[in-house]
Structure 1
Amino acid sequence: MNHSVTLKDIAKALNLSISTISKALNDSHEIGADTKQRVLDYAKEHNYLPNRMAKGLKEGKSRSIGVVVCSLDNNVIAQMLDGIHKVCTDKSYQIIIMQSKESEKLESACIELLYAGGIDGILISPAYETINFNYLLSLQESGLPVVLFDRLIDKIHTHKVGADNFKGAYEATKHLINNGYRNIAHLNTNTILSIATERLNGYKQALADHGIPCREELMVSCNYTGATSLNENLEEAIKSYMSLENKPDAIFTATDQISTRCLVILNKLGYRIPEDIALIGFTNTELADAMNPPLSTVHQPAFEIGKLAAEKLFSLIEKKNIDEDFETVLLPIDVQVRASSQPSNK
């Protein structure tokens, strides 16, 4: 039978008080360096695990945070969660991750469940369906720290961390223009979130700056609530594009799933990339080089977004700065050019 080593056991073994052991493990300045090292060495040697719940009760905290994301089946989100996990591990906090599946109703239920569980703060990347943030605002007003990451919205006044979506879209569209493309289509999502509006605006601005008319028929917003509906929307959009008299010679796609699925659908429909149509899009998939052809991408600093968002949340939880000003941080993107957007004859 396993016996978990307690503070009392360590105190008895080292002939020290329980209070001294506790202070040493918490790196208190009241304890000398030699004593502190003796305690830490013994604790490590005997696999001492602190009682997180007891510590939390003493501090008046649960030592857990809630994270609400659209889906775990997403390269960008998985990388952001790695960044969040790194910070939480360093802080000895546990993460409770919940998925909204792009549903406003499910997102609200996730947040209510997390709040009922006594979490110390929430990190949220809102669902595409969400237009009403009142439930989140009311929790924030009650004192619960909330930080937005990846998908940002103006309706909530707090720290926000994301990618520079406008610049990413601008640079991707500019890359296509510089390669000689003029009829550039855009595939986005039907949401009010900044992730969609900023990428659309970046695309439009790049066209305008290069004297290229913005054609409404080359901008389609897809239903993002499920894989089946997204695939159907994308195939319908591509067929519509390619049936135009003045059809597109390139497509800029706005999200991870749209980018990779668009490549699959174009191949399925028999279009040669980039000979018939070029393609570049936002995606952090590690398989971009292995795709047919290798996919040009706008890569987001996903790990860094998650890490910084978590750090911002802990600054609110720990109230390091009572008069802390909220800030929106947009991290730089990286356009990675591959074969799908640069034919040799252009």
Structure 2
Amino acid sequence: MITIFDVAKEANVSKSTVSRVVNNDPSVKDDTRVKVQAAIKKLNYAPSFFAKGIRTGKTKTIALLVPEYTNMFYGEMFNGVEDMAFKKGYVVVVCNTGNATSEKEYINKLLERNVDGIIYNTYNASKSTINFLEKLSQETPVVVMDELLGRNSNLNCVYTDGYNSSREAVHYLTKKGIKEIGYVKNNKSIQATKYRYQGFLQGLKECRLKYKKEYIYECTEEAKSNYMKAGKKAGEYFLSLQRKPSAIMTDIDLLAIGCSTQLIANGIKIPEEISIVGFDNIELGEISHPALTTIAQPTREMGCKAAEIIIDQLEGSERQVEKMVFTGELIVRDTTI
């Protein structure tokens, strides 16, 4: 393995001079810099980021925290984060906080390892967690990725406007002649999608549609571990109703796909009898049968923007809170008329 000492010997300079060249120290003379760079190229020397991190306190590492891996949404987000991070010379570590006793404890362990920035996803952010993140952001760049945190904190945030996206989806269904719309809510402990449901309620009001309590299904706690199964249970619930809604909207795509699967298995024609609308636009929705109508989030673009905010704040002189709100796009496929 080639070391910094080998480069110093090849260039006939000191180890500290090689270190200054690697770290782009402007005090190094041009001829010395050229000589060291030639030695680095000849020996194919790769500087140790671990050693550099000890000296500078920076590791060029971004942590992406997600609450669980089963939601394909986070995989696409990771792709976006990595797109930007790799371009800028950073690496990304993905951390599943679902099994952690405390998200704060998990973050502290990352900070002990000199992680430079944190992109934070959660299902349930308490006020104490928000306070913790706001305090942390004074020292370490933090970007939060959901509407709940974005609206209720003084933190960098990147999210899709679920409230207006769901509201507009109700208008779309109403224009198709649908007057009775059901909804599948995530479990109440998962607050990240709460504004989607509120947007649905607002849409009902604006379209003068009657709110029916029996048309609202809330998933149980197990939804967090298996969304498809939770969606199927929602489908069973709607099958049990004597009068069924003519459309069902859901908090996320996996719930919609599970619900649709269960309805079809029991003889319900989709979309002829019941239309289905999801939220997220994961790839599985496009290839499912029938293909899912959904509200698309620009997930990869969101991840890219979050990484850009982190890196800009790490490498810039000023840290101003940045909020980026994307607009959801209704993608009409085969589960709606």
Q: TM-score, normalised by structure 1?
A: 0.82
Matches within 5 A, 1:171-182: 171-182=168-179
CA–CA distance in structure 2, aligned partners of residues 45 and 205 of structure 1:
66
Match of 2:93 among 92, 96, 99: 96
Superposition deviation, residue 266 in structure 1: 2.0
- Does the 8 Å CA contact 1:66/1:123 hold for their aligned counterparts? yes
Match of 2:186 among 173, 180, 189: 189
Superposition deviation, residue 220 in structure 1: 2.2
Matches within 5 A, 1:1-346: 3-4=1-2, 6-14=3-11, 21-27=18-24, 43-44=40-41, 46-101=43-98, 105-128=101-124, 132-133=128-129, 136-137=132-133, 140=136, 143-150=139-146, 152-153=148-149, 154-191=151-188, 195-223=192-220, 225-226=222-223, 230=227, 233-318=230-315, 320-322=317-319, 324=320, 326-342=321-337
* Consecutive unaligned residues in structure 1, runs of 5 or more: none
CA–CA distance in structure 2, aligned partners of residues 113 and 95 of structure 1:
16
Moved more, 87-96 or 243-252: 87-96
CA–CA distance in structure 2, aligned partners of residues 290 and 253 of structure 1:
18
* Consecutive unaligned residues in structure 2, runs of 5 or more: none
Kindly provide the amino acid, as one letter, of the partner of residue 286 in structure 1. Answer: E
Superposition deviation, residue 124 in structure 1: 1.0
CA–CA distance in structure 1, aligned partners of residues 133 and 188 of structure 2:
20
Superposition deviation, residue 160 in structure 1: 0.9
CA 261–232 in structure 1, closer or farther in 2 if over 3 Å, else same:
closer
- Does the 8 Å CA contact 1:68/1:107 hold for their aligned counterparts? no
CA–CA distance in structure 2, aligned partners of residues 41 and 177 of structure 1:
69
Give the secondary-structure state (helix, strand or coil) at the position aligned to 2:283. coil
Give the secondary-structure state (helix, strand or coil) at the position aligned to 2:101. helix
Deviations 1:111-131 (A, max 9, x none): 243233332332210134867
- Does the 8 Å CA contact 1:68/1:110 hold for their aligned counterparts? no
Q: TM-score, normalised by structure 2?
A: 0.84
Superposition deviation, residue 156 in structure 1: 3.7
Superposition deviation, residue 303 in structure 1: 1.1
- Does the 8 Å CA contact 2:295/2:329 hold for their aligned counterparts? yes
Give the secondary-structure state (helix, strand or coil) at the position aligned to 1:212. coil
CA–CA distance in structure 2, aligned partners of residues 200 and 231 of structure 1:
19
Deviations 1:80-129 (A, max 9, x none): 1112223332343333321123x673534422432333323322101348
- Does the 8 Å CA contact 1:125/1:152 hold for their aligned counterparts? no
- Does the 8 Å CA contact 1:152/1:162 hold for their aligned counterparts? no
Superposition deviation, residue 331 in structure 1: 1.3
Moved more, 266-275 or 34-43: 34-43
Give the secondary-structure state (helix, strand or coil) at the position aligned to 1:292. coil
- Does the 8 Å CA contact 1:131/1:192 hold for their aligned counterparts? no
CA–CA distance in structure 2, aligned partners of residues 82 and 151 of structure 1:
20
The percentage of aligned residue pairs carrying the same residue is: 27
Superposition deviation, residue 16 in structure 1: 5.9
Give the secondary-structure state (helix, strand or coil) at the position aligned to 2:289. coil
CA–CA distance in structure 1, aligned partners of residues 66 and 37 of structure 2:
37
The count of aligned residue pairs is 336
Superposition deviation, residue 337 in structure 1: 0.8
- Does the 8 Å CA contact 2:186/2:223 hold for their aligned counterparts? no
CA–CA distance in structure 2, aligned partners of residues 228 and 46 of structure 1:
50
Superposition deviation, residue 300 in structure 1: 0.9
CA–CA distance in structure 2, aligned partners of residues 227 and 36 of structure 1:
55
Superposition deviation, residue 243 in structure 1: 3.4
